[in-house]
Amino acid sequence: MDACGVCRACDRIARGMHVDVLSLEPDDRASIKIDVVRGVLARTAFRPFEGRRRVVVVRDADTLEVQAQNALLKSLEEPPPGTVFVSTTAVPGLLLPTVRSRCMRLRFGRLSERDIQAILTRDHGLSARDARTAAAMADGSAGQALALGDADLATLRETALLLLRQTASQASASARLTAAGLLTTTPSRKERSRDDIALMLRVVASMLRDVELLNAGGDPGTLANPALADEMGSLKRAFAGSRAPEAFSAVDRAIMALDRNAGAKAVGEWLAMQM
Ligand SMILES: [Zn+2]
């Protein structure tokens, strides 16, 4: 089920001109304020004008100010007849628990790496090579890919590689905890932000994928980190058998735990033990 994308209604929705599709978006200070929310809610008091339903789209709902979220609660619990609320966010953990509990959670489908590459090169001017690297790490999200494109990939890679080497060779618990420290604190002993940690984990995941690809005899031309082909090759033996896929899935779980607001230090230590 998808919109046709060509009829008059679709066209007006795409241009933001449809009277029954209301949109709440972050302002230039990246927040959605209570007044704006109240304005839109007032318009939901009437029945839809044209369609059978009215849709209120809250874009980047995590930017709703707390009062704005509270103003939405009643409508989320008991939407006005004919009105559907759709809130989108990449970080649901930032929404009030009272808001989350009133929403049904849907995960949007992931884009293919090819689609993400196309978006990055066509709309954001990345080189084909950078786009491929970012797309391979982005877990199907163009937004993640862009964040990776902006980040200092060289430093992220260096640290991620160090982390993999430490866990590859060291079996002792204390060595693994040291490795976990690489993830959560910078060399100058500053705590990394959750976003930075999640980004780093994506880089680690992309490396584990590369190692597994090499172990499975795949084409080295399709590595996500082609510049690190030698380093990836040197990790092959340590991550042979089921270790790479298992570590990959542990990284995935760690990213999800961070997304749900789990403590960064605890997540890092758990992961270092799993890998
Ligand atoms: Zn249509």
pLDDT of residue 127: 84
Could you tell me which of 127, 171, 175 has the C-alpha nearest to residue 149? Answer: 127
- How distant is the alpha carbon of residue 128 from its chain centre? 22
pLDDT digits (tens, 9 = 90+) for 202-235: 889 989 988 998 998 888 877 888 778 899 999 9
Residue 99 has pLDDT above 90, yes or no: yes
Least confident of 4-18, 35-49, 163-177, 254-268: 163-177
Distance (angstroms) between ligand 1 centre and the Cα of 2 equals 9
How many angstroms separate the alpha carbon of residue 82 from the centre of ligand 1?
A: 19
Task: Average the pLDDT over 195-201 and give the result.
Answer: 88
Question: What is the Cβ-side half-sphere exposure of residue 127, based on CA atoms within 13 angstroms?
Answer: 2
C-alpha of residue 89 to centroid of ligand 1, in Å:
25
Answer yes or no: is pLDDT of 152 > 80: no
62 C-alpha vs ligand 1 centroid, how far in Å?
29
Q: How far is the CA of 14 from the centre of ligand 1 (A)?
A: 10
- Centre of ligand 1 from the C-alpha of residue 55, in Å: 15
Distance CA 141, CA 181 (A): 27
What is the per-residue pLDDT for 88? 93
Query: Cα of 10 to ligand 1 centre, how many Å?
Result: 4
Q: Is 42 exposed, middle or buried (0-12, 13-18, 19+ CB in 10 A)?
A: exposed
Measured in Å, residue 105 CA sits from the centre of ligand 1 at 25
Q: How far is the CA of 21 from the centre of ligand 1 (A)?
A: 13
Dist. CA 52 → ligand 1 center (Å): 14
Calculate mean pLDDT across residues 45-70.
92
pLDDT score for 1: 61
Cα 239 to Cα 245: distance, rounded to the nearest angstrom: 9
Section 38-61 average pLDDT: 91
CB 225 within 8 A of CB 135: no
Distance 124 CA to ligand 1 centre (A): 28
Least confident of 78-82, 95-99, 132-136: 132-136
* Residue 139 pLDDT exceeds 80: no
On the question of pLDDT at 260 being above 70, the answer is yes
* Distance (Å) from CA 264 to ligand 1 centroid: 44
Q: Is the pLDDT of residue 45 over 90?
A: no
Distance 78 CA to ligand 1 centre (A): 28
Cα of 8 to ligand 1 centre, how many Å?
Answer: 7
CA of 98 to the centre of ligand 1 (A): 34
Above 90 in pLDDT, residue 170?
A: no
Between the CA of 9 and the centroid of ligand 1 the distance, in Å, is: 6
The pLDDT of residue 266 is above 90: yes
Nearest-angstrom CA–CA distance, 263 and 48: 44
CA of 223 to the centre of ligand 1 (A): 40
Query: What DSSP letter does each residue of 59-93 carry, written as one string?
Result: TTGGGB-HHHHHHHHHHHHSPPTTEEEEE--S-GG
